[in-house]
Structure 1
Amino acid sequence: MNELPLYFDYAATTPVDERVIQVMVECLGFSGNFGNPASSTHAFGQRARQTVEQARQQVASLVGASPEQIVWTSGATESNNLALKGVAQARGISGGHVITSQIEHKAVLDTARQLQEAGVAVTYLVPNAEGLITAAMVSEVLREDTFLVSLMLVNNELGTLNDIAAIGQRVREHGALFHVDAAQGAGKVTIDLARLPVDLMSFSAHKVYGPKGIGALYVGPRAQQKLHAQIHGGGHEGGLRSGTLATHQIAGMGTAFALASEHLEEEVARIHQLRQRLLEQLADVPGLRLNGSPTERIPHTLSLTFVEGEFDAAALGRSLAYSATSACNSASQAPSHVLLALGHDARLAGRTIRLSLGRFTSEQDIDRAASAIKASLSAPAPFWAVARP
């Protein structure tokens, strides 16, 4: 059996923490906590309900929210859809104006295009050279009929960190609602929704060492009566998201968020040191470009473009599990819309890799990754790429 490559794709998904797995297993099987938490009045259902509410508290605690403000979904994609479509439909979907950016996740961009087809005007902000959206940019395009602004906390390809406090303050002064996709930020940066001027925020468990298929949407007080459900059939989750709750997945997400809260500072500090170690070892690579702000960013995600020399992506792929683009683009193999928005052409986009570090990345992994990257740059070009007279 071939040896697996080193894992440097934590931004795409994280392995489930063993402590999370143990909690999830305890919710399965007849001897476990398997009851229906939504409707059962007997002891099995009540036990499951207690588990669900404990997890809701754990998620809320990490982000400074109240438990009743957390709505379970299947992941950040559904949360984004519920936020954008839900607000638009609650006000009457025809007309009005929404602001987002060109470098959002496809779950926001594709949903925004759906709103456009239904008659909503949408402005797609162009990021600055550092891959950031600023409050000034938002202010310039706010209109009287703007009812929603949707921008991400951390960019999934670049790792850049938007100043959502400043943006949110401007949006609140205007009177619109502010939605933030925080799938890449939860567990990596401090989030305090008790203080932040944010009305809706999306989360996903599988970015935080929890299971796939479970996420949440924070619904703040200003958005409570301005959100239309997208899934109907029983009125669960305060009428915002019907369906039998998956106790094992919810318990897993709660535990994952609790662990993230417990270890956030030390984990971020450790990953910052690993990132610096990697960049120092790559400092002598000619034409290496770090995409995005060098300071306003999380340490976990690096977007690197090799401007000069030969780059053998196939050789690197045998050593490292990395992304040539974000997971949301990988199905089409199209150039990254994020890099194109930053001004890269298709050639440079094709010479860009995303490396993302995580909980199980070691110093040895960093050293081996640096060696593999340098080897992929010094490898001879394949015969079909050599120009012939």
Structure 2
Amino acid sequence: MQVGDTIYLDYQASTPVDERVLKVMNAASTALFANPHSADHVLGWRAGAAIEAAAHQVANLFGLQGDDVIFTSGASESNAMAIHTAVEVGRASQRTELLIGVADHGSILTEAKICPLDVRKIPVDNRGAPNSRCLDGMITDVTALVSIIGVNNENGAIADLKDIATICRKKGVLLHVDLAQAPLAMDIDLLELEVDFATISAHKLYGPKGIGALLTGPGVSDLVKPVIVGAGQQAGRRGGTMPTELIVGFGEACELVKDSGLAERARVSAIRDRFVKILQEKQIASLIGSQECRHPGNALLRFPGQNASELLGRLQPQIAASTQSACASGSIEPSHVLQAMGYDKMIAAECIRFSFGRYSTIEQADAAVAVLENAFEAA
């Protein structure tokens, strides 16, 4: 995707809204403007029915049912709900511990800091994914919840969800997975995996910002503790008037991923691989982590001897990319994800995350390589 003079290579921070999603959102804003909780007239019924249909679209992408979807304002709220739920489960069962991934998203790390449970962090493996072997030895009788990131937002590493879910199930511990980055990286059947809670976000899969969901597995929906209580909407699981247009757009975005996700992943991966290969052959950059079990659009690259922030500054306005996740962008501290992988602060400060997506092309990737070459020559 190119916006004016800028090649967009920051799809893991946010994806552009697909035109097909915008179309259904515009139609909903015209015809479905009524409060979906208005139970006394037909316009309210229609808005409510549209939300129910969208919930089925979202759930279908993950092997679930519409009732398993709790709509939220986004991934951060969904992650907060998972931590709040862990606290309540702990109080009810005398479990005092929360296990989270050391390389988890900042919203989980921040919520964990302020929760009353004892928090321990699961190390990463050599790919930068949660280490399932370490997790197996960490779970105890007082563990209330295990929370891990399914696809890392910085290094792109895909967790072994089947292994992790099996470990948690065997030990009788609830599992929450942050899947915000996952829909564009792999097929997911949460029912088959037996994951208890999962976080998703619309703007990571070509839907609108401001809408996400916490997905619930069988038998755990009643455990959910909302961050926003409101007036008891969504069966008391999350308060507040539901934003019909955003939810309809979210549903359409999920439907599009369901229909064409496999082919899209292959195409995006080929573009990413070409970009990485050329930069490595020119000895400009090297890939951090393995290309196996990785988000197809992710290219976390090290530029030896270059300060990443300064290099990105020289790339403006031609390339949009990030030194780390968008939530931590501008931080003076190098990426906690890279440090969790064993890289020191100097190496972490030399890394840039480029991420490709639906509207990326080979021509854009090649043009980005040329811009990087010019930036090095001008340095």
Q: Compute the TM-score of the two structures, normalised by the length of structure 1.
A: 0.92
Structure with the greater alpha carbon radius of gyration? 1
Name the structure 2 match of 1:39: 38
Cα pair 2:307 2:350 within 8 Å, conserved = no
Q: Which moved more, 1:288-297 or 1:250-259?
A: 288-297
Query: Which string of whole-angstrom CA distances, capped at 9 and with x for unpartnered residues, describes residues 210-239 of structure 1?
Result: 000000111112422322222112211121
- Specify the SS of the correspondent of 2:252: helix
TM-superposed CA distance for 1:26, in Å, is: 1.2
Partner of 2:8: 7
Which 5+ residue runs of structure 1 have no aligned equivalent? 381-389
Deviation at 1:308, TM superposition (A): 4.3
The 1:27/1:309 distance shift into structure 2, 3 A limit, reads closer
Instruction: Give the match for residue 386 of structure 1.
Output: none
Write the letter of the residue equivalent to 2:187. Answer: T
Match in the other structure for 1:294: 291
Q: Write the mapping of 1:77-92 to structure 2, written as runs, cut at 5 A.
A: 77-92=76-91
**What stretches of structure 2 of length at least 5 have no aligned partner?**
none
- What is the CA-CA distance between 1:346 and the residue it aligns to? 2.5
Corresponding residue number in structure 2 for 1:98? 98
The answer (yes or no) to whether the contact 2:279–2:286 under 8 Å persists in 1 is: no
**What letter matches 1:9 in structure 2?**
D
Cα shift readout 1:41-96 (whole Å, capped 9, x = no counterpart):
21100110111011001001111111111110011111110111123124428861
Q: Aligned-pair distance for 1:310?
A: 8.0
2:268 counterpart of 1:267: no
Question: Residues 234-254 of structure 1, C-alpha deviation per residue, up to 9 Å, x if partnerless?
Answer: 211121101111000000000
Q: Is the 8 A contact 2:35 2:47 kept in 1?
A: yes
Match of 2:367 in 1: 368
Larger mean CA deviation between 173-182 and 132-141 belongs to 132-141
Per-residue CA shift, 1:274-317, capped at 9, x if unaligned?
Answer: 11211221122337321122212121111000124687332223
The equivalent residue for 2:169 is 172
1:313·1:376 contact (CA, 8 Å) conserved in 2? Answer: no
**Which residue matches 1:321?**
320
Report the Cα distance in structure 1 between the residues aligned to 2:328 and 2:306, rounded to whole angstroms.
26
Whole-angstrom CA distance in 1 between matches of 2:238 and 2:378? 52
> Which residue number corresponds to residue 120 of structure 2?
123
Give the counterpart letter for 2:111 in structure 1.
T
Structure 1 residues 49 and 6: alpha-carbon distance in aligned structure 2, compared to 1, 3 A threshold: same
Give the conservation status (yes or no) of the 8 Å contact 1:187–1:257: no
CA contact (8 A) 2:305 2:350 kept: no
Instruction: Give, as a single letter, the amino acid of the residue that structure 2 aligns with 1:265.
Output: L
Spell out, residue by residue over 1:72-122, the C-alpha distance to the aligned partner (whole angstroms, 9 max, x if none): 00111111101111231244288611111111001111111111xx2x111
2:136 corresponding residue in structure 1: 139
Q: Match for residue 112 of structure 2? A: 112
Of 34-43 and 261-270, more deviation after overlay is shown by: 34-43
Find the aligned partners of 2:317 and 2:66 in 1 and give their Cα distance: 44
Deviations 1:103-144 (A, max 9, x none): 1001111111111xx2x1111122123212232110111111
- 2:353 is paired with a residue of what secondary structure? strand
Matches of 2:140 and 2:4, distance apart in 1: 56
Map of 1:28 onto structure 2: 29
Counterparts of 1:267 and 1:123, CA distance in 2:
37
Cα pair 1:305 1:351 within 8 Å, conserved: yes
Shift of 1:335: 1.3
Match of 2:234 in 1: 237
Residues 273, 362 of structure 1: alpha-carbon distance in 2 compared, 3 angstrom cutoff: same
Q: For the residues of structure 2 that align with 1:109 and 1:324, how far apart are their CA atoms? A: 19
Per the normalisation by structure 2, the TM-score is 0.94
Task: Determine the structure 2 residue equivalent to 1:226.
Answer: 223
Given that 1:177 and 1:222 are in contact with CA atoms closer than 8 Å, whether structure 2 keeps it comes out as no
Aligned to 1:189: 186
Aligned AA (1:334):
E
Q: The residue matched to 1:225 in structure 2 has which SS?
A: helix
SS at match of 1:26: helix
1:194 counterpart SS class: helix
Q: Using the alignment, how far apart are the partners of 1:255 and 1:310 within structure 2?
A: 40
Distance in 1, matches of 2:184 and 2:62, equals 9
CA distance in 2, matches of 1:109, 1:315: 32
